[in-house]
Amino acid sequence: MHIDAHQHFWIYSPGEYEWIDDSMAALRRDFLPHDLKLELESSGFYGSVAVQARQTLEETRWLLELADSSPWILGVVGWVDLRSPDVRSHLKVLAQNPKLVGIRHIVQSEPDDRFLLQPDFLRGISALEEFDLAYDILIYTKHLTVAAEFVQRFPRQRFVLDHLAKPPIKSGAIDLWAQGIRRLAEFPNLFCKLSGLVTEADWLHWEPEQIIPFLDIAFEAFGPDRLMVGSDWPVCLVATSYARWFEVVKNYLPGQQSECREGVLGGNAQRFWRLNAR
């Protein structure tokens, strides 16, 4: 069962999606389940995990409603304010829906580079295990050292790194990134998504050859059992078609054994978020 481990839905409004600038004009429209269903089917994918894009409880509830009415949306990674003293009561209500599989905070946009280690944020993370929720780490390469300190504090919490921490594909300056990824991958409770990479390349002129060295490091560091493919649709559309990104990964995988291949294409996501049981 092939699963897209990372995609978004939205009803577009300029005020709520200020990060969609003129260079991303193609994203200034609604992206809803029926749009994604067509893409999934044409790429031979069974289902997806929908990830938050706005930091509101209202969006999390909306994504859960979409998942309830579309069985192929297998899970939702939502948002709650993890720094809030009320975090437990919010989680308690939201986690009643078994489709809530994880929480994410847009840490990459926080002005404090050590945001992950803020005491109130750490307290929120410590509440997730009780509700059987994973946490999506959305950071840039510059945050990798802090992320290792962060993950080290929670050996029983399931973590997944989004987009390989957005590697410097455009510049090709791989070394510092590779060092940070290798360090972070030492924690066995951390998985990683192969997603969001083409948007770190030259959108109009990237070639798979520029991305493969980064996939090599990911496979070397995490091994094939902790990697999961995701599209980052619709954001990926600024740099690729939906199908083309999966082609890049599928073309890379024949070097791996078939069991590993199936894991990366869906089995690892199922296991990580326990999607079977939901």
Q: What are the residues binding Zn ion (CB under 5 A)?
A: 232
Comparing every residue's Cβ against Zn ion, the nearest one is 232
Kindly report the number of other CB atoms within 10 A of residue 168's CB atom.
Answer: 16
| Least gap, CB of 25 to Zn ion (angstroms) | 18
Nearer to Zn ion (CB atom), residue 47 or residue 261: 47
| Least gap, CB of 26 to Zn ion (angstroms) | 15
Residues present in the chain in total = 278
| Least gap, CB of 6 to Zn ion (angstroms) | 6
Rounded CA separation 249/198 (Å):
11
Kindly report the number of other CB atoms within 10 A of residue 271's CB atom.
Answer: 15
Rounded CA separation 278/276 (Å):
6
Nearer to Zn ion (CB atom), residue 59 or residue 232: 232
Contacts of 99 (CB under 8 A, 6+ apart): 64, 67, 68, 73, 74, 75, 76, 278
| Least gap, CB of 54 to Zn ion (angstroms) | 12
Nearer to Zn ion (CB atom), residue 162 or residue 260: 162
Nearer to Zn ion (CB atom), residue 56 or residue 126: 56
**What is the three-class DSSP state of 179?**
helix
Rounded CA separation 43/265 (Å):
11
* Ramachandran bin of 262, using left for φ above 0, alpha for ψ from -120 to 50, beta for the remaining angles: alpha
| Least gap, CB of 147 to Zn ion (angstroms) | 17
| Least gap, CB of 167 to Zn ion (angstroms) | 15
| Least gap, CB of 236 to Zn ion (angstroms) | 8
Nearer to Zn ion (CB atom), residue 39 or residue 232: 232
Nearer to Zn ion (CB atom), residue 31 or residue 121: 31
What are the start-end ranges of the H helices in 72-200?
87-94, 119-125, 144-152, 175-184
Encoded tokens for 106? 């847009």
Nearer to Zn ion (CB atom), residue 4 or residue 232: 232
**What is the three-class DSSP state of 192?**
strand
Encoded tokens for 258? 């078939």
Beta strands 227-229 and 159-161 are: unpaired
